[in-house]
Amino acid sequence: MIHELPVLPYDAAALEKAISERTMQFHYGKHHQTYVNNLNNLIKGTRFEEASLETIIREADGPIFNNGAQVWNHTFYFMSFSPRGGGEPDGLLFELIKKHFGSFAEFKEKFSQAAVSLFGSGWAWLVKKPDGTLDIVQESNAGNPLRSGLVPLLTFDVWEHAYYLDYQNRRADYVSALWNIVDWGIVASRL
């Protein structure tokens, strides 16, 4: 199976209120593409040659896992945004957030803290656990909650390449800006 860089549902300049076109050109166009290229080269002749990204995440180790998970993580991240995003979720997602975190404001604060406080590079995730409860988890490097049997709902990428061109070392400013582009309809569809 040949993995490909997904086509985004918006153009590279569409998320300017949080992510510049220049960052999108590097982050999506170069970093994400490199993970795709690396993965395709690494899986040739292995048992993962025809495997889905989810199978690679759950079963692979080393470079195949790292590149496969980064392809999946980045696709998930970029597909969580919209130029018309922001605000708050509604419906079941809003009710679950309120139930498990107290309020949307408390959830946003806890999720932002998880993203800002992650040491080094990685990801902050909103996940649904097997019992249906929601949780916030941190994953370092290429970590992905699928590996732990969790259902990813939302992620913020806190690798420096995701924000350095726009925010330099101000990770908190980057995280704060991402709330303006989250597409809550997409997040809710993952429940």
For residue 7, the model assigns a pLDDT of 97
* 89 and 184 Cβ atoms separated by less than 8 Å: yes
Sign for the CA dihedral angle at 108, 122, 17, 85 comes to: negative
Residue 122 CB coordination number (10 Å): 20
Nearest in space to 183 (alpha carbons), one of 14, 3, 13, 4: 14
CATH class of 91-189: alpha beta
Q: Are 82 and 186 in contact (CB under 8 A)?
A: yes
Per-residue confidence in pLDDT tens, the chain, 191 aa: 999 999 999 999 999 999 999 999 999 999 999 999 999 999 999 999 999 999 999 999 999 999 999 999 999 999 999 999 999 999 999 999 999 999 999 999 999 999 999 999 999 999 999 999 999 999 999 999 999 999 999 999 999 999 999 999 999 999 999 999 999 999 999 99
CATH 1.10.287.990, domain 21-78, yes or no: yes
Q: For residue 59, what are its two tokens?
A: 């079963």
Which one, of 36, 68, 37, lies nearest residue 52 by Cα? 68
Write down the domain spans for the chain: 21-78, 91-189
Spatial CA neighbour of 143 closest among 114, 186, 172, 168: 114
Whether residue 181 contacts residue 85, with contact meaning beta carbons closer than 8 Å, is answered with: yes
Q: Which residues pair with 149 in a beta bridge?
A: none
What pLDDT does residue 82 have? 98
Q: Which residue type does 191 have?
A: L
